[in-house]
Amino acid sequence: YGDVPGLSTPQCKGECIAGEYCPVGSVTPTMCPKGYYCPNGRLRVPCPAGSYGGRKGLQDASCSGLCRPGYYCELASISSVQAICPGGRFGGVPGLQSSACSGLCSEGYYCPAGSTNSTAHVCGSSAVYCPEGSALPIVVSQGYYSIAGDEHVRTQQSICEPGYFCYR
């Protein structure tokens, strides 16, 4: 960087150090921003997906660490809870990189946003069912009944057969 007029060498006044970033024509060093690391004073590199850069001045690809279970971090994230795993999915390990998280919630169970395992909550009763990837239990439709699994872990609904009454 060069903060005085009339410099005559490419070294300018001084070199930026790790944790700083000096683009061409810099007058003063710039602290590496959150979500990035600056390994050598010349490069500004986004923190890798699965990790986050929660403070300025980071110097290496480990950034500030991995995202927490139940959350994911895309490229250049600034928080360990940058983005919550969506309902119907779960995030069972740290360092997840996309909204796919660890996968879908298991059938017979439901997973609200931020769940950390595929069987976060038992579906509930015969009045509801939970197919794979459920964010919440689904109320059985009028004229149908729930099937598959035991009374608390229903996974589907079926239309009521002729000659029978199904109240749910």
Residue 78, Cβ density class (10 Å: 0-12 exposed, 13-18 middle, ≥19 buried): middle
Residue 167 has a pLDDT of 66
3-state secondary structure of 97: coil
The structure tokens listed for 149 are: 């699994």
Measure the CA–CA gap between 155 and 97, rounded to whole angstroms.
Answer: 29
Residue in 143, 146, 107, 156 with CA at minimum distance from that of residue 125? 146
Residue 7 has a pLDDT of 45
Residue 1 has a pLDDT of 42
Instruction: Say if residues 18 and 39 touch (Cβ distance below 8 Å).
Output: yes
Q: How do the pLDDT tens digits run along the chain, 168 residues long?
A: 445 454 455 555 677 888 998 887 777 889 999 999 999 988 899 999 999 999 999 999 999 999 999 999 999 999 999 999 999 999 999 999 999 999 999 999 999 999 999 999 999 888 999 999 999 999 999 999 998 878 889 999 999 988 888 865
The structure tokens listed for 165 are: 């009454």
Residue 96 main-chain phi, psi, to 5 deg: -70, 150
What helix, strand, coil percent values describe the chain, rounded to 5? 0, 20, 80
Residue 17 has a pLDDT of 86
